[in-house]
Amino acid sequence: MARCDVCGNDYDKCFTVKTPAGSGTFDSFECAIHALAPTCSHCHCRIIGHGAEHDGKFYCCAHCAKQSGIVGIDDRI
């Protein structure tokens, strides 16, 4: 069995995710998200959707970008 890199669970259904930055073994999507998803620069939640990026910083939504002083990012037009 494989062991999850995040929680340490020894599980027969673990899976591996490979990215250009490396790879990891996980027992759930929750653990994979915790390890791989970027963090919002404003509220610090994990970004599991599209999010937004400005000047090298990631935001989970337009609201957080606006709260950080970013102009021109909208959830809808």
Q: What is the pLDDT of residues 19-77, one digit of tens each?
A: 998 899 999 999 999 999 999 999 999 999 989 999 999 999 999 999 999 998 887 76
pTM of the model: 0.78
Q: What is the pLDDT of residues 36-45, one digit of tens each?
A: 999 999 999 9
When mean pLDDT is compared across 5-9, 10-14, 71-75, the lowest value belongs to 71-75
| pLDDT on residue 4 | 98
d(CA 73, CA 53): 9
